[in-house]
Structure 1
Amino acid sequence: MARTATAHALVLRSRPMHPLPVIHTMYWDNIPADILEQQRAVFAHLDLPLQQERAHQQPHGRWMTEVLERHSSDDVVIFCDIDAFPLHRQACLGAIAQAQAGALFGLAQFSNHKPGTQVYAGPMFMALRKGLWEALGKPDLQTSKQHDAAEVLSALARERGIALAMPAPTATLIPKWALGHEGVFGIGTFYGQRDFFHLFESRKPAYGALLAAVAADVTQDRPLNFAHYLALAQRLGDDPPAPRRRWWRL
């Protein structure tokens, strides 16, 4: 049976009174501990409040619904995958501004295993007012036959003429999936004008080296070193990740 998020979630704040909404992320026990640590380091460096919640075996969409229910209608609610982060502070501020203006913000995503034909605002980094979810009828955000987790928000927003803000992939280190008819994405994907990074498949420990390299450049205020990332990705291609052999618990 799925368990709800535990109460020992960590909130990172570098100032006592932070004006920004907390960014919510969940993880299962199969996520390596260093992925969590590196995400925390990035958000702390960017002075963005992060709450990581252990929600082992809980469906992603159900957890997102529970997070929305905790908030007031005027609140901006932000979701982020455990292996994703903004590459600079302004990227997050821009997402918040879009949500405050009434748009649904999410990184461009496409469900290749679902019947849909349109790119949608993905919850790997998503921002919206709770009131928008309410105005759309409080839809169930769980995966269904038609939609992946939270994809229904984009479908309903299109029906009602609500703005969608969807930064597209601009680079990917290991191309793996089609973004509908609009491009490709894969392991280690960059979005917007070097605004966001999402690893994907972080449950596979070998891919962690890619996230670690990007996170190190962000936290050290260095330019993104795409040559280094590609060299790491090439080595992974020559020596595919070994099967996961252990689970991590925090």
Structure 2
Amino acid sequence: MASTFQRARTAEQRAERATAILRAARDLLDELPLEAVTLNAIAGRAGFAASNVLRYYDSREAVLLALVAAETETWLTDLLAEPPVSGQNADRCRAVAATVAATMERHPHFCELISVQAAVLERNVRVETTAAFKATTSEQLGRAGDWLLGALPELAPLGRPAVLQFTARCIVIAGALWAHSRSNTRVAEHLGDTESAGNDRTSAVADIRDTLALLFLGATRHERRPGGSARPTAHRIR
């Protein structure tokens, strides 16, 4: 495999190789648990030697970190295409939470990757790689936060920076809930209990929906401080 490898000579060829590597990693996630998606497995699926993959990415974690950004973009495109909701505050909070949970269910790779992003994927990569990733996801977070602000305008008095921070925390919580359910699912799959495995995934989506609904309800019920700024009555964004 290594003997037939030809180095990309143009920026377009390099981009094609990098995309092929990401595609290979994503395809492997359809078949294997995340921890089994190794650098050698990615290289083999892409048709490269591992040393050649490292010409494009720092490490296995760098490949998966790039995949986080790609999967986030796919999920975000889906979310932003959702029609606006209407109704009273409580109804809209529940509807928006259901919308977010439903889009996350349609993008399981996104959920799995964000659940291990900070603890696993942001390790063993160069500072420059992490900085570039943060810049990309910061822009993505801005669009997600603006969507949430449009869906729940009651958040506006908190200020856009606080809304973006709140959005980021909601995504982190959703990823944690997904990871918890996946742990149960893998045990069920190992035991051959396909019904329980399916129920665990359904439960994860319901947990994400219900938890986000509570967070949205709390964040949109704010009061005025003496200085004129707002804060949530149910929980304060620090």
Coarse TM-score class (shorter-chain normalised)? under 0.3
Q: With structure 1 as the length reference, what TM-score do the two structures score?
A: 0.24
Query: Computing the radius of gyration over CA atoms, which structure comes out larger, 1 or 2?
Result: 2
Q: With structure 2 as the length reference, what TM-score do the two structures score?
A: 0.25
Larger relative helix fraction? 2
Larger relative strand fraction? 1
